[in-house]
Each structure stands twice: as structure tokens, then as C-alpha cells.
Amino acid sequence: MIYNKFGKTGIEISALGFGSMRLPMVQDSDNNNHVDMDKAVAMMRHGFDLGINYVDSAYGYCASESEIAVGKALKGYRDKVYLSTKLPLGNIKATGDFDRHLTEQLTKLDVDYIDFYHFHGVSNERLENVILKYKLIDEALKAKSAGLIRHLSFSFHDKPEIMNKIIDLGVFSSVLCQYNLLDRTNEPAIAYAVEQGLGVVGMGPVGGGRLSYPSEFMQDLVEQNVSTPELALRFVISNPNIHCALSGMGNLQMVDENVKTASISEPLSSDELQGIDATLKQCQSLADIYCTGCGYCMPCPHEVNIPACFAALILKKVYKLDVAAVERYNTIKPVNQAAACVKCGACEKKCPQNIPITKRLKETTEIITRADRAV
Ligand code: SF4
Ligand code: SF4
């Protein structure tokens, strides 16, 4: 396992972190989902034994049972593994809610302190209307003084320039943000975080599952014989500004494969990275010809989710990620899929890219249906 200096925390963090949002689940007789505790605990401990020293949870993950599972897995490992979890900002309606949640989380985790306590899903709106409004930074600093949390952190979901603004508050030790082969928009903000002494954990190294299936196109990006998920993880780990790639692992095979990848001390070469960079830039330009995702064409009077349909089309046509394209398309409710288009043409007048939307929607239906039959 590779270990990296984690900002100014004084910690050496494993290049692979255990994300506990996809733990194995079981259903009870009333069809309620629960974590399969025995399997989940064994899987996390297997990862810890292989050198993973950072585990990440959140209040609501896995039917709100992820923290319980993580707490159980940490028994006997507490001094070897750093524990990260998150305050659900969406639940905060008053200042006292901070303490209430932290107490509940410490109880669920069955620990005396949390190493990295994140504000979950920070955006500009939540910064202004929750964190600052309810003085959560003061609350967190009090919890830190009381020894209940060691570091204050945030997970991030907004435009990169907002990340800089949050970093400039000067109270955070680390940031958790999206970074993968298909989404590198946070790259400059990540570099700024490192410059300011924060540790950086990258989430979604396999693009939220989009890169977890084989793609000849992706594999051809480098000369070495690597699988698509391996390439995706190595790409993230090869960025010196990412100290830990957080992977939500759901079975032992995934743990073994990811640990193997995170133990390769040779990062992708600069030639390989440059080649990947050039190819992905071309892909992005090509994708923009299909749709930039700006949403100006919306709403469609017949409820077609145009940008979502085109996101699936792009995965298929540009990135050749057939399974991911079908999966993405199937996340769109049938009433919002391309087939609901009645060709009224209202959207085309609003598209700044002059995209022939009706023609492309027809193409989306045909191509995704064909891909669905093939996978
Ligand atoms: S052409 Fe189709 S997608 Fe566009 S607004 Fe009309 S129904 Fe909606
Ligand atoms: S307006 Fe054009 S580019 Fe923007 S989301 Fe709609 S189709 Fe895509």
C-alpha cells in the first residue's frame, strides 16, 4: 500500500480509502434494507489488514446503518485506522442540531472521538444558509476542543471556485471532492487546497461506477495491459495532489483488486498522463458537440429530460462505455426518457449549441436500446 502525507495533519494516509456507502445489504421480512453486518465488518477488516488506514462513512449511508457497521469493524483497529464521517447539513435546522447529531453519531460508531468530521455536501448555498447561519464552525471548534473530533473537514459539491472560498475560511484540515478520469473540473481547486495545507481525498475514482466496466477505448489510453477500473484508480492515485482515493467497495474481490492497484508504487508515466489528457480533451470537445449539459433547453413541455438523455448518449458514443450508458439511461424515469419526445421543436430554439435535439433523441432511443440488448 502506498501512503501519502495528508496535508498538514501529520498523518500518513493510505492511497486507497474505504468508502462505506456500498456495504452489502439484506432485506428483512418487511422489505426494509439493513447492512449485512457480518459480511460488511469482515470486508472492512480485510481492507484494514491489507493496509487501508482511512474509512469514511456518513450519517445517512446504507439506510443509516453504515456508521454502526464501521464502528463494529473498527473494534481492535481503532489505533490503526482513521475514522471519517459526516454531519448531514440537510438535517440542521437550529444550532443545537450539531451537538445532537454528533452525539448520535459517536453513539452509533461506539467511539469517543472522530478523526475527520465533515460537513456533508457543502455548496455555496449550504455554506451561507446552514453552516454560517447556525454558526456550525463555532460548534465544531468547541467539539474539537472537547476532544470529540480531531479534524474539521468538508465534502464538496459545487463549482470549483466555491471550494477556494470554503478553504479560505481557514478552519478545515481536509476536503473530500469528486475527481476521476471523466470529471476533472475540481483539479485547480484541488491544487489550491494542497497549497493551503489541506489533505485531499478524491471521491468517485471510478466515476460513480461508470468506469467499473471494461471499455476498450479507456484501456487503449495506456500501453500497459490494465483493466478500466484499474486505469481509473491509477489515474487518480497518480495525481500527487490527491492523497487518498476513496472507493465505495461492496465485495472482497473489489477490495483485493483496489488494494493491488493502490500498492503499485510506479505512478502512470508523464507520457501516459499527457496521452490521457490529450485524448480526454478531444473527448470533451466531442461530447460538447452532443450536449454541454447547460440545461437551457429545459423544461420540455412533455417532460423529456434532454440533458440526462444526452449524458447517456455521450457515454455510449464518445467514451464507448456501453454498460455505463445503459445504466445512466435507466436512472431516468421512463416518462422523462427520449421516447416521450413529440418533436414539437420548442427545445431546439433555446439550445445555444444548435443541437438537432429531436434527431439526437431518436438516436439515443435506438442506440441505448441496442446497447441494452447487447449487455
Ligand atoms: S422537441 Fe421533444 S424534447 Fe424538445 S421540447 Fe418538444 S417534446 Fe420536448
Ligand atoms: S440546451 Fe443544448 S447543450 Fe444545453 S442541455 Fe439542452 S441540448 Fe444540451
Q: Does residue 264's CB lie within 6 angstroms of at least one atom of ligand 2? A: no
- Give 306 or 184, the one with higher predicted confidence: 306
Same domain, 301 and 340: yes
**Same domain (yes/no): 49, 113:** yes
Higher pLDDT, 210 or 348: 348
Q: 22 C-alpha vs ligand 2 centroid, how far in Å?
A: 32
Q: What is the Cα gyration radius of the chain?
A: 22
Does residue 23 sit in the same domain as residue 61?
yes
Residue 286 lies in a domain: no
- Indicate whether 283 belongs to any domain: no
Please check whether residue 275 lies inside any domain of the structure: no
Whether 358 is in the pocket of ligand 1, judged by its Cβ within 6 Å, is yes
Q: Is the pLDDT of residue 375 over 70?
A: no
- The predicted-structure confidence for 48-103, as pLDDT tens digits, reads as follows 999 999 999 999 999 999 999 999 999 999 999 999 999 999 999 998 999 999 99
306 CB less than 6 Å from ligand 2? yes
Mean pLDDT of 147-168: 94
Provide the pLDDT for residue 289: 82
Which CA distances in Å does 35 have to 73, 104, 190, 240, 337? 13, 18, 33, 34, 32
Stretch 167-173: mean pLDDT, rounded?
Answer: 96
Whether residue 285 is contained in a domain is answered as no
Give the number of the atom of ligand 2 that is nearest the alpha carbon of residue 292.
3
| % pLDDT > 90, the chain | 70
Summarize pLDDT for 352-369 with one digit per residue, the tens: 889 999 999 999 999 887
What is the per-residue pLDDT for 300? Answer: 96
Q: Does ligand 1 have an atom closer than 6 angstroms to the CB of 347?
A: yes
**Ligand 2: which atom is nearest the Cα of residue 293?**
5
Long-range CB contacts (< 8 A, 24+ apart) of 145-152? 147/112, 147/113, 148/102, 148/106, 148/112, 148/113, 148/114, 149/102, 149/113, 149/114, 149/115, 149/116, 149/117, 150/113, 150/114, 150/115, 150/116, 151/9, 151/115, 151/116, 151/117, 152/117, 152/119
What is the count of structural domains for the chain?
2
Summary mean pLDDT of the chain: 92
CA 310–ligand 2 middle distance (angstroms): 9
355 lines ligand 2 (CB under 6 A): yes
Strand-pair category, 149-156 with 114-122: parallel
Q: Give me the domain span that covers residue 325.
A: 291-374
Residue with grid cell 469517543, as numbered in its chain:
112
145-155 CB burial, b ≥16 within 10 A, e <16: eeebbbbbbbb
From the list 82, 111, 114, 118, the residue with the least C-alpha distance to 10 is: 82
Residues 57 and 163 in one domain: yes
Angle between helix axes 37-49 and 252-261 (nearest 10 degrees) is: 20
280 inside domain: no
Q: Is residue 178 in a domain?
A: yes
Please indicate, yes or no, whether residues 195 and 323 belong to a single structural domain of this protein: no
Of 306, 349, 360, 363, the one to substitute when testing ligand 2's pocket (max ligand atoms within 8 A of C-beta) is 306
- In CATH, what number is assigned to the domain containing residue 264? 3.20.20.100
Nearest alpha carbon to residue 321 among 212, 197, 190: 212
> 95 or 38: which carries more pLDDT confidence?
38
pLDDT-based confidence at residue 223 (cuts at 50, 70, 90): low
Query: Is 297 in the same domain as 262?
Result: no
Write down which residue in 235, 269, 303 finishes a domain: 269
Is residue 232 assigned to a domain? yes
Atom of ligand 2 nearest to the CA of 310: 8
Q: Are residues 66 and 134 both part of a single domain?
A: yes
State the alpha helices, DSSP H only, in 121-251: 124-126, 136-145, 160-167, 187-195, 216-219, 228-237
If asked whether residues 64 and 179 sit together in one domain, one would say yes
* Per-residue confidence band for 372, with pLDDT thresholds at 50, 70 and 90: low
Does 329 map to a domain? yes
